[in-house]
Structures are given as C-alpha cells and as structure tokens.
Amino acid sequence: MATQNYKAWSVLIMSTVAFTVCFMVWMMFAVIGIPIKDNLGLNETQFGILVATPVLTGSLIRLPLGIWTDKLGGRPVFFILMLSTILPIWMISYATEFWQFLVIGLFIGVAGGSFTVGIAYCAHWFDPDHQGLAMGIFGAGNTGAAITKLVAPIIVVGYGWTMVPKVYAILMLVTALIFWFFTFSDPSHKVGKAVTLREQLATLKDPKVWRYSQYYSIVFGGYVALALWMTKYYVGEYGFDLKTAAFLAAAFSIPGGILRAIGGYFSDKFGAHTVTWWVLWVALVCLFFLSYPQTVFTIQTVNGPNTFSVGLNATWFTLLMFTLGVAFAIGKASVFKYIADDYPHNIGVVAGMVGLAGGLGGFLMPILFGVLLDLTGIRSSAFMLMFGVVWVSLMWMYFTEVRPVYASLHTDQQGLRPPTQAHSLE
C-alpha cells in the first residue's frame, strides 16, 4: 500500500511539473507575440490569430490523445508528446514571416494536449474521494501561463525574443527525461483490448458531455484567452511597458492556475454542481464590471457643462481580474469532478472531448477579441463577449440541473411521492 501511495504521488507531482512546462510553452506567444506583432506590423485580428494558433492544435488533438491514453497508458503518451514539441519550439526562433509563425505554432500547440493525457493518467491513481483534489493539483500546472509572464519578459529585455523559444526547448527536453524516470505505469488503468474505438466514442452521445464542454469552454477557454490577451491589454489600455504589463497580467494567471487544487478540494466536499454554479455567478458579476468601457460624458447644468469620467483604473481592473482568475481556477476543477463522478471508466475520452471544447474556446476567443477591437475600437468588448458566454452557461445549467431538482422537490412536498436521496444539489 505504501509503495502504491508513493507511486501515485510521484506520478502526480511529475505530471504536474511536466504540464506546467507544457503550459509555459503553450502560452509563449502571449509575451513574444508582442514584439513579433511590432516587427511584422500586424493588426489586432492578426495578433489574435498569432497567439491563438498553438491553442488550435492543442485543442483538436485532445480527443485522440484521450483515446490513446485510455488504450496505451498516460506515461508513454505524455513522454512522446513532450519530445515531439522540442524541435518546433526551437525553430520558432528562426521564423521571419507571419505564415512561418503560424505553421510552426501549430506544431508547438501539441504541448497543450498534455492536459488531457495528464488528467486521465493522474486520476486513475487515486480513489474517487480524492480524485477531485488530485486533478486539481495537476491542473495547477496552468500556472505555467503566469511563469511565462514573469520569466519571458526578462529574457526578451535581456537577450531578445528569439532567446525565449531556445530556453523553452531545452527546458522541455530536460523535463521530459526527468518525467520518464520518476513516473510509473499500471496495466489495470488501460481499457481492455476488446474495447473498440466505437465503444469508446459512444459516451460522446451523452448530452451531459456537451453541457460540461460548454462550462469548460468558458472556465478554461476563457482563462487561456485572457492569459494570451491580458499583457497586450495592459499595454494598450493603461500604457504600461512589457515587463510591468506581463507582471500585472500574472495577477490573473497565477490564481487561475495554482488555486485549481482548492477547487478540486471544494468539489470533493460540496459536489461539482454546487461549486460550478457559484463559480459562474461570480464570473458573471466580474465580467459585468469589466465590460464597461472607459467613458467620458458631459451634462449640461445650470452652471454650464459638467464632464464626468467613468471607468476602471488599473488597480480595480487588476483586482477584478484576480477575482475572475480565482473563480476560473475553481471552476476548471469542478467541471472535471463532474467527469470523474459520471465517467470513472472512460475518463480519457470524455476529458479529451471536454478539453477539446475548452481549448477551442481558448482558440476562438482571442481571434474574436481582435475582430471586435478592430470593428468597435473598444477594448472591453472582449469582456462583453465573455459575459454572454457565461450567461449562456448559467441558463443551460439552470434549465438542465437546477430547475428539474427544485421541481422534483416541490412534487415531493406535495406528497405525490416519497423523497429520495437523489433530490439534492450535491
């Protein structure tokens, strides 16, 4: 038992470290994309496409990676994935044209698929009462986005942006080797050879999978999108330099990653539904205030015109972003607690599908941020878009989870049938 416990924690710790490095790579364009944009003279939409390109492949590959993880085991799939990204990471230093950055960025994006591999790999090593915490700890590797914001600007200022990919390529190689030597495989965690691909994918017909995908598209997709966008937002909206802007943007990325473990603990204790419900409400309130654009208006008074300014200063903006990061961190864990509870024997495939949806949200939103900014000239239009997505998620949850339970409880109170333990909000 002690040996099994040691293996489980060794797998969890090393997988978390590996995922952190992969996420650093995945979010690399959030920092180096700014000097690249200046060098190439890109507009806002093109910048959105540049930073989102790695997210596309990191999202699309999640479903097949989940299938392979269930079939082959997490250890070999994770190791091969990391090795496959090293050369593309290094090559980005030599790109000079916009299309070259996009093509190489697609290969770098494979690093983002590491989440699906690691979440299924780690979950199998823990019992159901501790899976939420284990998956939350692993998911804390999202702090790789914050580490990139803290480390990459220092490298850019000291040695130029081309040095960042070279440092990250070496770091990925070292991490892959350490991961291989300190992790383990368990044949019982694989699905049986008799299980066909059709049987694995059959779960995706379940409407709950699509609902969880919608939730994850905002708590994870929104996190990725803002992690990519915030450094540039601070530069454009408040006039900060690159280092200061990246540092302030980390106030969103750090809690959005590291507090995911707390979200896993809360989900184990209070249930996935309850935690996700409150996460979405907190996010909705934050996004309401973040959506309001900087406004100057004049009122004609008896003493003449009187001008007022309404808008968030950098301090209040950062505090709201910090709160939003905390909410997203907890929500990312609670959504995957749903999956561990409902699909204990098919985590890889379902996690792949839900992760794919979240990643696509992270891919599409930065592009839409750029399009909206080019069309309207209003930077806070990014938050207006996200407000709408959260509202859709809340309504979907209300009509499919909350309302049926209260209707059932009302029926029980009228004495039409005896109450059961199933009637709870978790």
> pLDDT digit string (tens) for 75-95?
999 999 999 999 999 999 999
In a domain, 368, yes or no: yes
End-to-end CA distance of the chain, in Å? Answer: 31
- Mean of the per-residue pLDDT values of the chain: 86
∠ CA 202-79-344, nearest 5°, is: 30
Confidence (pLDDT) at 422: 39
In a domain, 232, yes or no: yes
Average pLDDT over residues 311-331: 92
Q: Which residue has the higher pLDDT, 170 or 220?
A: 170
Between the CA of residue 152 and those of 155, 163, 197, 337, what are the distances in Å? Answer: 5, 9, 41, 33
In a domain, 227, yes or no: yes
Pairing of strands 304-310, 295-301: antiparallel
In a domain, 65, yes or no: yes
Q: In terms of residue numbers, what domain contains 313?
A: 2-189+200-297+307-413
Most confident of 71-80, 198-207, 402-411: 71-80
Sign of the torsion formed by the C-alpha atoms of 344, 346, 347 and 353: negative
> pLDDT digit string (tens) for 11-46?
999 999 999 999 999 889 988 998 999 999 999 889
- Answer for the pair 318, 251: CB distance below 8 angstroms, yes or no: yes
The continuous run of DSSP H or E covering 50 comes out as helix 44-60
Average pLDDT over residues 398-416: 69
How many domains does the chain contain in total? 1
- Count the Cβ atoms, other than its own, within 10 Å of residue 1: 5
pTM over 0.85: no
- Which CATH number belongs to the domain containing residue 80 in this structure? 1.20.1250.20
Average pLDDT over residues 316-332: 93
In a domain, 423, yes or no: no
**How large a percentage of the chain has pLDDT more than 90?**
39
Between the CA of residue 67 and those of 32, 191, 192, 336, 351, what are the distances in Å? Answer: 33, 10, 12, 17, 10
Given pLDDT bands bounded at 50, 70 and 90, which one contains residue 336? confident
In a domain, 323, yes or no: yes
Confidence (pLDDT) at 426: 39
In a domain, 352, yes or no: yes
